[in-house]
Every structure is written in C-alpha cells, then in structure tokens.
Amino acid sequence: MAKDVLCEVSNCTFWAVGNLCSADRIYVVSHTGEKAKNSRGTDCKTFEPADELS
C-alpha cells in the first residue's frame, strides 16, 4: 500500500507544497479504457481542479 503519493499536478485541490497529495486515497485509472502499456496510459481520477482564485 502506498503511504506517500508524490504528485506534481499543482492545480489539483488535493495538491500540497512539496509535491504531496493530501487526499485520503486516490483512484488511478487507465485512460485508454484498456490495459495501460506504460505510465502515460494512466490517470488520477481523484483529481479535482483547484479554484484558480485561491
């Protein structure tokens, strides 16, 4: 089980300084709808865009 998730998607609501993810858990999916062949074929479905004004 992953204890620490490092993430550079800084415009996500759950992103925290130090490239950390503050979500209790994340859901990673294959964005092709099929078996991913490499990391580029995966996406974080937990992503929520941060309020651009905050």
Quote the CA–CA distance of 50 and 28 in Å, as a whole number. 19
Applying CB under 6 A, which of residues 9, 25, 30, 34 lies at the interface with ligand SF4?
9
**Residues 3, 20: contact at Cβ < 8 Å?**
no
Position 45, amino acid? K
Applying CB under 6 A, which of residues 1, 33, 38, 47 lies at the interface with ligand SF4?
47
Applying CB under 6 A, which of residues 2, 3, 4, 7 lies at the interface with ligand SF4?
7
3-class secondary-structure state, position 40: helix
**Binding stretches for ligand SF4 (CB under 6 A):** 5, 7, 9, 12, 14-15, 21, 23, 26, 44, 46-47
